[in-house]
Structure 1
Amino acid sequence: MDFTEIYKQSGNLVSFSPGAHFIFNVVENTLIVRRTDTLQVTRTWTIAAPSITASILSKSKSTTSSSGATADGWISHAGWSCDSEYLLAASAKKGIVEVFKLRDETWNARIEAGAEGLLKAEWAPDGRHILCFSHWGLRVTIWSLVTGNATYIQFPIHPDRGYAFRSDSRYFVLAERHKSKDTIGVYDTTDLYRLVRHFPIPTSNISSLALSPTGNHIAVWEGILEYKLHIISLAGHLQRTFSPEPDPGFGIRNAAWHPTGMFLAVGGWDDKIHILDGLTWSAAATLELTSKVAAGATLWREPSNWLEATQGRGFLSYERLQGLQTISLQRTDPTKPNPKSGAVQLEWNKTGTLLLVRFDTCPTVVHLYDFPTPSDPFVPRLRCVLQHSKPVLHAQWNPVRKGSLALCCGSGSIYTWSDEWIGENGVEEDMAECIGVPTNTKFETRDIKWAPDGKGLVLLDKEMFCCAFEVEDGAES
């Protein structure tokens, strides 16, 4: 990989454009756009004045934070429109959203929140509407850049995990609470977000929802105290309620749809993954975490002290261990709040042939499970385990290639796994590598983000970032 220089950033707000030709980063209250081929700055914008309501409220406060008033006004949310034509930069403390046009530096639009405040702002999939979530779950406002008008929807439950757009962007699905009851609202995005369906759901306290890739079903599940997942059609009909036997005692932590919508992976706090099939919505397979790595799987282990040996400027293959191996698991106390157990991450690769699982019980380990194609018998199996010296902070599949994974552990390096390596006999093989980030300053990779074309990565430290781009050669497919 080739690495760029180190640049400043704040709030982890760094993102490639959808076409991967530009990249923006935020430094306090300034939005900076660069070209990805040269990393030269092409545009800068600064957010200054807060909304009128925010100004009045700030004057009424008698105290200020230790970080100072300037930190309160920093940009808290930023993003590209789907066509890379527009960018938004929002300051939740200032109660404003500024919209800029990449090819016209003088063009600008501004959204000011009222007394309800601003919690979060993001683009709708069409790149011409902006969703603004208010404080206290009062409402979500959809602003149109085309007409300048707004649509208001009351009482959204979770601004971070309680809504979804169908894959064709036609419908917006929102979890709401009316009269102390959980409900789902379905809105037509092509008709000014007109309400087309509104129905109650059987949850008492919905934790999250996930819309299937086909857009036909919604998975909703309860909070931590009850292991119940409900499959509901987009028309509002309950298809099935899944609850394993015996009751594990805690609820669902994560759920992830297979890219085809044929399966749903469900993980609780009991270190088990249930794979539900899309016909009966019952468990077709159950994957359970154990300390033993079966003989048919590969254990890839990070070499000890490799960063010191290479002085952070090289790359080294993981140690490859085959045969029966063991990994250490942490003991958890279920009587204490927020137990360190369960599936902290479930993520399918692009084709759905691999499932990545990270368990809180073994924070330094990543499990990769093989899933058969539709023509093969359905027998998922553990393919390999990646073991590290420090806890894994983030892991992400390549958005384009089926078998390419990157992860980070808060060290001066990144880690990659791929099943596309061409071996000496001309056959694709697995390969896992540790790659140091070459820099003269201390840089700890705490987060990673793939470019949309899958050819580069953003590496993020607390207040810095750099980019890494793959070097194309004959071995790459």
Structure 2
Amino acid sequence: MNFSDVLKQSNQLCKISPDGKYVATCVQYRLMVRDIINLQIVHLYSCLDQVMHIEWSSDSMFILCAMYKRGLVQVWSLEQPDWHCKIDEGSIGLVSSRWSPDGRHILNTTEFHLRITVWSLCTKSVSYIKYPKACQKGMDFTSDGRYMALAERRECKDYISVFVCDDWHLLRHFESETQDLAGLEWSPNGCVLAVWDSCLEYKILLYSLDGRLLSSYSAYEWSLGIKSVTWSPSSQFLVIGSYDEKVRILNHITWKKIKEFHHPGTINNCKKAVYKEVENTTVVGSDNLSIHQLTGGNSLFSPKSKYEIIQLPAQVPVIKPDLDRANPKIGISAMAFSADNRYLATKNDNMPQSLWVWDMQKLCLLTVLEQTAPIRCFIWDPSRPRLALCTGNTKVYIWSPTGCVSANVLVEGFFQVQSLLWHPSGGSIVMMSKEQFCICYMDSED
């Protein structure tokens, strides 16, 4: 692994362009677009206020900067640096802004979710969509960019509208059989729309493109229900993470449960591998000047860690949540599939230091990674089954089916890794601290 210099950024506003050529960062009101290889600035833009959100268009030709406090959106062009666009929502305010899949329309959601405004960069026309619901994930596009599903709330009832993204005309509008819709998501093949209820009622519904209810699923009643939902890349599995610390897998043919993954406090099966991070402190001496120079001479001690395979049965650290508080720290909050559909990684909130990796061909637990600190972020390599994670310290961790490794981030100063972004090629990782970022370039043998 090789590490770039440390550069500034604000609010972890750091995004890699879809074509993988550039990385965009913001420092207060300045937007900087850098070459991903040498990190030289290729474009520098000044916005009208502090930027709260940035997003690349799908073709990497434009970049959107949203300033929610001012109700403003500015759009910049990489091909024509002199061209720019300003969208002012005025007194109605702005809470979110995003691109449509074609990269030529911007969807702005106003304060209190009064409406969604669709702005066209090509025709300069404006369209309005009323009654969007304020929920966890109320809008989603099919992977081919043809259709958009939107959750709506009218007369105390949930509805779903399906729009054609070419001209934003309404294709389907139907009532959802939910008490309080919390989110929706298209399957990767765009054939099925998953809709789930709030955590107070365990219900997930599967709709076809024309609004037909294909199936519904409920695991239990009278307890906190669904916490996270994700599709497998092949659309074969719909995976539901619940507050009862279990992951339930539905198949795409009958929409019935085919497997249930538990997250026990004790792992007994001898076929599983449990990797535990073990820390130690080593003195950096004169025989290792490169590390001393890379750290800028700030410290003579470089904390290192390694993974050890621990014997079973193994105890998984568990934190007892406060069940009297809203949104208790319990249950499956994060799940992610590897790009090849082979592995599923899950995180159980009351086991914050552990990451669980499941084999989706055998439908069984494969590995548990036990860290010394709570896991902040984990993300799969887009090109191969390789998982990167961070815990807010000065290290980055990589897991693959062949094993796992802990690597110190050898840069100047004290760099605490808060979040990660893989390059689309899988050849590098962007690492972000609170106010800085750097890039880890992976060697081919890594």
TM-score, normalization by structure 1: 0.87
Give 1:166's aligned residue: 142
Following the alignment from structure 1 to structure 2, what is the Cα–Cα distance between the partners of residues 201 and 312? 59
Query: Residue 456 of structure 1: which of 411, 428, 434 is its match?
Result: 428
- List per-residue Cα deviations over 1:148-195 (Å, max 9, x = no partner): 1111111211375111111111001111111221100100012x1110
User: 1:413 — aligned with what?
Assistant: 395
Work out whether residues 314 and 435 of structure 1, in 8 Å CA contact, stay in contact via their aligned partners in 2: no
Contact 1:408 1:445 in 2 (8 A): yes
Partner Cα separation in structure 2 for residue 312 and residue 157 of structure 1: 52
Which one of the candidate residues 336, 341, 356 is aligned to 2:345? Answer: 356
CA distance in 1, matches of 2:212, 2:301: 56
Give me the whole-angstrom Cα distance separating, in 2, the residues matched to 1:244 and 1:180: 25
- Give the gaps of 5 or more residues in structure 1: 49-72, 373-378, 420-429
- Which residue of structure 2 aligns with residue 18 of structure 1? 18
TM-superposed CA distance for 1:208, in Å, is: 1.0
Provide structure 2 residue ranges, at least 5 long, that are not aligned to the other structure. Answer: 285-290, 292-299
Q: Distance in 1 between matches of 2:304 and 2:317?
A: 26
CA RMSD of superposed structures (Å): 1.8
Distance 1:40 1:241 in 2: 52
Encode CA deviations 1:78-112: one digit per residue, 9 max, x unaligned: 11111111111111111111111112221111111
How far the C-alpha of 1:440 sits from its partner, in A, is 2.9
Is the aligned partner of 1:390 residue 2:365? no
Aligned in 2, Cα 1:308/1:219: closer, same or farther, shift over 3 Å? farther
Aligned equivalent of 2:188: 213
> C-alpha distance in 2, partners of 1:146/1:163?
23
Report the equivalent of 2:153: 177
Letter in 1 for 2:97: A
- 1:303 Cα shift? 1.5
* Structure 2 contact 135–182 (Cα < 8 Å) conserved: no
Range moving further from structure 2, 278-287 or 327-336: 327-336
CA contact (8 A) 1:139 1:156 kept: yes
Name the residue aligned to 1:79.
Answer: 55
Is 1:282 the equivalent of 2:264?
Answer: no
Q: How does 1:265-344 map to 2 (within 5 A)?
A: 265-293=239-267, 294-305=269-280, 317-344=306-333
Query: Where in structure 2 are the equivalents of 1:9-408 lying within 5 Å?
Result: 9-48=9-48, 73-158=49-134, 161-190=137-166, 192-245=167-220, 247=221, 249-293=223-267, 294-305=269-280, 317-372=306-361, 379-401=362-384, 403-408=385-390
- In the aligned structure 2, how far is the partner of 1:194 from the partner of 1:16? 32
Amino acid at match of 2:337: W
Could you tell me whether the CA contact under 8 Å between 1:20 and 1:451 is conserved in 2? Answer: yes
Which amino acid is 1:337 matched to? Answer: A
Deviation at 1:314, TM superposition (A): 9.0
Q: Is the 8 A contact 1:33 1:44 kept in 2?
A: yes
Distance (whole Å) between structure 2 residues aligned to residue 224 and residue 127 of structure 1: 34
CA contact (8 A) 1:120 1:159 kept: no
Partner of 1:425: none
Q: Partner letter of residue 122 of structure 1?
A: R
On the 8 A contact 1:122/1:130 being kept in 2, the answer is yes
Name the amino acid aligned to 2:323.
P
Q: Which residue of 1 aligns with 2:6?
A: 6
Structure 2: how far apart are the matches of 1:105 and 1:416? 38
CA distance in 2 between counterparts of 1:212 and 1:200 reads 20
| Cα distance in structure 1, aligned partners of 2:199 and 2:126 | 35
C-alpha distance in 1 between matches for 2:233 and 2:383? 13
How far did 1:462 drift?
0.9
8 Å contact 2:334–2:348 — kept in the other structure?
A: yes
Contact 1:5–1:466 (Cα < 8 Å) also in 2: yes
The residue aligned with 1:66 is none
Contact 2:10 2:26 survives alignment (8 Å) = yes
CA change 1:312–1:244 in 2 (3 A) is farther
Q: CA deviation at 1:307?
A: 7.8
Structure-1 separation of matches of 2:239 and 2:280: 36
Structure 1 contact 296–323 (Cα < 8 Å) conserved = no
